[in-house]
Structures are given as structure tokens and as C-alpha cells.
Amino acid sequence: MSPRMKLLLIVSLALNLFAIGSAAGALIMGVHLGGRPPIPFSNTSMRAPPLLQPEKGAALRVKLRAAAEAGAADRRASRQARREAAELMARDPYDAPAVAAAFARSRASDTAARARIEAALVEGLQVIDAPDRATIGAQMLRGRGRRGGGRPDGPPPPEPPPQP
């Protein structure tokens, strides 16, 4: 076999392996060849569960949205405090009390924003029937796509390591 033929055979083999690997990767990633691909990262846990009382569910969503908008300043303050903490971490000499104070401000702002939403939820749930409250509670425990793999049937979040 001539050297040119060997080279062509090696190139052909490499291209075939690339094509097979690409097809296998596409199938593994969920891309359907020759058809319309599915919506990437579609996650049913990100959708609110249907409530048995749609009108009361709509009122609850309005309350929660208003609480979230009211907490926007708190969330901005939290992000700003985290940025300040990051800047302080990079400085030399390292000022641990200043970094801790920035984290404390961030945490306080996060807590204030969350407290607004939780207060609106507590108030709004007063008019929701028990089966719908159970549905909302189950959705809350799923984490709406965070932790647990982002699947409604995903594993629970890992337990924190024991403190020494």
C-alpha cells in the first residue's frame, strides 16, 4: 500500500470517527436529527402548579409579584454588598472585619427581601383552600428548579457536612 493511500485511509477513518462521535453526542444531548429539536433545558418544575381555584391563585400571584417588586431595592443592596465584599477580598492587606461586614449587609438585605415575599405568601394563603395550599407547599419544597437537579423527581439537596 502506498504512503498516499495510507494517509487517505487515516483521514477517512478520522472523519468517520468524528461523524459517529458527533451523532452520538447529539443523541445523548437530546438533539433529534432530522426533526425539530426540543426546547433546551425545558423544566416542568419551573412552572407554577395549577390551582383548583384559579381566581384566588391569580390574586396570590399579584400579591407575590408586588412583594417581589417591593423587595427589588433590597436585592440590589444585597448584590452591591456582595460586590463590595468581592472588592475587599482582593485588596492587600486583607481586612477580614470589612469583608464580614459586607457579607452581613448582603445577608440582611437578602433576608429583608425574602421576608417581604414570605409575609405576602402567608397573607395570601388565608383565602386559599387546603388542597391548593398543599400544592403550593409541595412546589415550594421542590425548590422550583434549584438544587436537587432541577427535576421535580430529582434527588434532595445534599446534607451539609457535619461541623467539627
Q: What is the pLDDT of residues 131-158, one digit of tens each?
A: 888 888 888 887 655 444 444 455 566 6
Q: What is the pLDDT of residues 82-132, one digit of tens each?
A: 999 999 999 999 999 999 999 999 999 999 999 999 999 999 888 888 888
Residue 28, pLDDT score: 73
Q: Are 30 and 138 in contact (CB under 8 A)?
A: no
pTM check: above 0.75: no
3-class secondary-structure state, position 145: coil
How would you class 71 by CB atoms within 10 Å of its CB: exposed for 0-12, middle for 13-18, buried for 19 or more? buried
Q: Can you read off the three cell numbers belonging to residue 128?
A: 386559599
Question: What average pLDDT does the structure give for the chain?
Answer: 78
Q: Can you read off the three cell numbers belonging to residue 115?
A: 421576608
How far apart are the C-alpha atoms of 45 and 39, rounded to whole Å?
15
- Tell me, what DSSP letter sits at residue 71? T
What is the SS3 assignment for 78-132?
HHHHHHHHHHHHHCCCCCHHHHHHHHHHHHHHHHHHHHHHHHHHHHHHHHCCHHH
How far apart are the C-alpha atoms of 122 and 150, rounded to whole Å?
25
How far apart are the C-alpha atoms of 19 and 110, rounded to whole Å?
49
Provide mean pLDDT across the span 27-34: 59
Q: Using pLDDT thresholds of 50, 70 and 90, give the confidence band for residue 50.
A: low
Judge whether residue 66 has pLDDT over 60. Answer: yes
> pLDDT higher for 80 or 55?
80
Domain ranges of the chain: 72-126
